Amino acid sequence: MPKIKETLFLGLTEGPAQGPELAMQVVSHFTGLLVNAYIATDFQGFIDAVDAVGCVNIDIPARIYDPLHSKADFEPGVHCLSGPWVLAFIRVRQNTANSYRTTDFQRMDAESQVLCALKGKLLKCRRRCTFRRWSPPGARTWRRTSRTASFCRSA
């Protein structure tokens, strides 16, 4: 089974709109869930999304230190992280402090934790949150927005 990212790139070889469409079809097929919207962003767009709500609270259960790759340097505890620090948290590849957060599965768990925290912050957001939009030329479908996902636990 190809990864979601691979289906995105395979679809993009057919045209700008086909990548996201193919990825949504594959996810729908394998999960049995209707996927009719998505968000596509780059690292700066991710940082901007977090900074638009101020910060997100992340519970870090163990020391994380990755000076070579993500530049993450976190002590255990709950931290209100701004965009650049959240990006560092989810991009940890080699934690030299211990064995916490060194596998792809642990990185995916961190991504889910961040997305759920961001969802919770967005649902509580009383001020208008503004996000920078990015779209490759001619890719109208990249401008879709996603409704809040229901896979996250209450934040």
CATH number, domain with residue 104: 3.40.630.190
DSSP 8-state secondary structure symbol assigned to residue 4:
H
Query: Binning pLDDT at 50, 70 and 90, where does residue 37 land?
Result: confident
Q: How many alpha carbons fall within 13 Å on the CB side of residue 38? A: 22
pLDDT value of residue 93? 86
pLDDT higher than 60, residue 115: yes
Considering only 48-52, 108-112, 121-125, which range has the smallest mean pLDDT? 121-125
- Considering the domain boundaries, does residue 18 fall inside one? no
Mean pLDDT of 56-60: 94
136 within some domain: no
Q: Which residue range forms the structural domain that includes residue 105? A: 43-124
pLDDT value at 155 more than 60:
no
For the chain, what is the domain count?
1
- Is 76 a domain residue? yes
Partnered with residue 74 across adjacent β-strands are: 64
Q: How far apart are CA 49 and CA 130, in angstroms?
A: 8
Is residue 63 a contact partner of residue 98, using CB atoms and an 8 Å limit?
yes
Q: Which two tokens stand for residue 146?
A: 């996603």
Give a three-class secondary structure readout of 25-82: HHHHHHHCCCCCCCCCCCHHHHHHHHHHCCCEEEEECCCEEECCCCCEEECCEEEEEC
* 9-22: average pLDDT: 88
pLDDT of residue 129: 54
What is the distance between the alpha carbons of residues 57 and 154, in angstroms, rounded to a whole number? 13
Determine, yes or no, domain membership for 86: yes
Tell whether 150 is covered by a domain. Answer: no
Answer yes or no: is pLDDT of 110 > 60.
Answer: yes
- The residues, any chain, with a CB within 8 Å of residue 95's CB and separated by 6 or more, are 63, 64, 65, 66, 72, 101, 102
Q: Is residue 50 part of a domain?
A: yes
Q: Would you say residue 155 lies in a domain?
A: no
In a domain, 130, yes or no: no
Does 149 score more than 70 pLDDT?
Answer: no
